[in-house]
């Protein structure tokens, strides 16, 4: 069974930084692309970033490009999201999501999410 | 970013109704469009990818169509389990985007 457990969320001041982690189990982590998707309270979904399984290709939403960095450690089965220069509009629940299939990078299995609140 | 606009934002329907949701892209995305269903407090579930390909395990009453800039998700006969919010997502460019969502409510 696929399990994804996000951590690292919390309250941070505008301009601050936070690093999210996603511990994966139940599948061959190194074989799948991984996504971060966020959802502000009561709002819709916003795709944030995706990273390929092993060659380091990364893509970002325009809203986070240059501020957020996605990375992974396949030896630790862990996905990361480094978030810098945080803004109030980054407040959301952040989900990590495993790609549907090796050839289809869309978010498939999702974690329970971790809440990031950006406020002074 | 490519902007995705869904219509309507809210839809009231009855069990057994045929329901259609539209998603428009601000520029051509070929067929690189997915549809998701999300129920309150739950993670989204992929229904359709590549505009019209039904994901494994998804009931056949769901179907997708379209290409270029206009796409539709159709539920042929709405079931009680289908009351949820539906999102389209484009994955044509290197920066993917979701639509704002369509909530399907009980009439």
Q: Is the pLDDT of residue B90 over 90?
A: yes
Structure confidence at residue A13 as a pLDDT band (50, 70, 90): very high
pLDDT confidence band for B1 (50 / 70 / 90): confident
**Virtual torsion, Cα A45, B76, A101, B86, nearest 10 deg:** 0
CA distance B5 to chain A (A): 12
Torsion, Cα of A23, B37, A67, A13 (10° steps) = -80
Average pLDDT of B52-66?
A: 97
Q: Which of B38, B34, B64 is nearest to B49 (CA)?
A: B34
Give me the pLDDT at residue B69, please.
98
Q: Residue A116: pLDDT above 90?
A: yes
Angstrom distance (rounded) from CA A33 to CA A30 = 8
B43: Cβ contacts below 8 Å, ≥ 6 apart: A95, A97, A109, A110, A111, A112
Query: Nearest residue on chain B to A4, judged by CA atoms?
Result: B43
The residue with tokens 């790609």 is A99
Each residue's pLDDT tens digit, A57-112: 999 999 999 999 999 999 999 999 999 999 999 999 999 999 999 999 999 999 99
The residues, ordered by sequence, that sit 6+ positions from B26 with a Cβ below 8 Å of its Cβ are B2, B3, B4, B5, B69
Do A100 and B55 count as a contact with CB atoms less than 8 A apart?
yes
In a 3-state reduction of DSSP, which class is residue B82? helix
- Is the CA virtual torsion A75, A78, A79, A82 positive or negative? negative
Mean pLDDT of B27-45: 95
Nearest CA to CA, how far is A62 from chain B (Å)? 6
Cβ of residue B96 closer than 8 Å to a chain A Cβ:
yes
pLDDT value, residue B99:
97
Chain segment A32-57, per-residue pLDDT in tens: 999 999 999 999 999 999 999 999 89
Would you state the pLDDT for residue B93? Answer: 83
């Amino acid at each position: 069974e696929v399990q994804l457990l996000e951590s690292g969320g919390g309250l941070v001041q505008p301009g601050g930084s936070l690093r999210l982690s996603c511990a994966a189990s139940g599948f061959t982590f190194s074989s799948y692309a991984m996504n971060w998707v966020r959802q502000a309270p009561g709002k819709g979904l916003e795709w944030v970033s995706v990273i390929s399984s092993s060659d380091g290709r990364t893509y970002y939403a325009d809203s986070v490009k240059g501020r957020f960095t996605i990375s992974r450690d396949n030896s630790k089965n862990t996905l990361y999201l480094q978030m810098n220069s945080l803004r109030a509009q980054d407040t959301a629940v952040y989900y990590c999501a495993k790609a549907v299939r090796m050839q289809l990078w869309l978010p498939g299995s999702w974690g329970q999410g971790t809440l990031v609140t950006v406020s002074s | 970013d490519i902007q995705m606009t869904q219509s309507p934002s809210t839809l009231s329907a009855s069990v057994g109704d045929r329901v259609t949701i539209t998603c428009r892209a601000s520029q051509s995305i070929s067929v690189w469009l997915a549809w998701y269903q999300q129920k309150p407090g739950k993670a989204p579930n992929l229904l359709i990818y590549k505009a019209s390909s039904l994901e494994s395990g998804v009931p056949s009453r769901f179907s997708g169509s379209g290409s270029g800039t206009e796409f539709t998700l159709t539920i042929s006969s709405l079931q009680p389990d289908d009351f949820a919010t539906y999102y389209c997502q484009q994955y044509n460019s290197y920066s993917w985007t979701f639509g704002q969502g369509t909530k399907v409510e009980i009439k």
